[in-house]
Chain A
């Protein structure tokens, strides 16, 4: 099982840069970049923070791929 995310798509839709999103959720830009590339699976707390900042449900951004 793998966690897939659509952070990049929704971030661009919200008109945010990686740096903007990183500042809003209190992480480094590198973490957002790594997350978007699928190299890093965020904690539940970070996933919830991202969904809150992007005004979306967590399920819209993150899903499990079998």
Chain B
């Protein structure tokens, strides 16, 4: 179970950092479609550096975890959250994936509805540009969280 907690928590942290970096780029960028010269000024914030640094650190940690701490736990850096020690854990992983898939189909459908209403409720280009990033980030984080919870629940059940 420790390997799944380790993997999913690091995935969630990376997803949050990626969303923050993307949001900062959207907030800082300037796109001017009014003038005859189509002006696009994309601004990359320091948060991208933080995200890249965090991704590098987690890659090293994953490698270290697979070589030392997670070695007896069946953790494999390539398979990540789908790592399993034996057939029972493989079954748990399959159940958790199924639950996550079912959850994601609903949450993505709900996201489309949210996007439709956002378009109807605001005229702000800035907000409209930001909302898809926030929605996708929420979906991604929820997906990691649901997989983690489903894995823990099935681990106790089976």
Contact = CB atoms under 8 A, between A and B. Distances in A.
- A interface SS class: loop
A10 to B, nearest CB: 20
A31 B157 contact: no
Contacts, number: 27
A27 B86 contact: yes
A27 B158 contact: no
Interface stretch (A1-9, A12-20, A36-44, A55-63): A36-44
Contacts of A42: 87
Nearest to B72: A28
A40 B88 contact: yes
B157 A27 contact: no
A30 to B, nearest CB: 7
Contacts of A40: 88, 91, 158
Interface of A: 26-28, 30-31, 34, 39-40, 42-43, 45-46
Given A27-B85, A45-B87, 16 more contacts: A27-B86, A27-B87, A28-B74, A28-B86, A28-B89, A31-B86, A31-B87, A31-B89, A34-B158, A39-B157, A39-B158, A40-B91, A40-B158, A42-B87, A43-B87, A46-B87
20 contacts: A27-B85, A27-B86, A27-B87, A28-B85, A28-B86, A28-B89, A30-B155, A31-B86, A31-B87, A31-B88, A31-B89, A34-B88, A39-B157, A40-B88, A40-B91, A40-B158, A42-B87, A43-B87, A45-B87, A46-B87
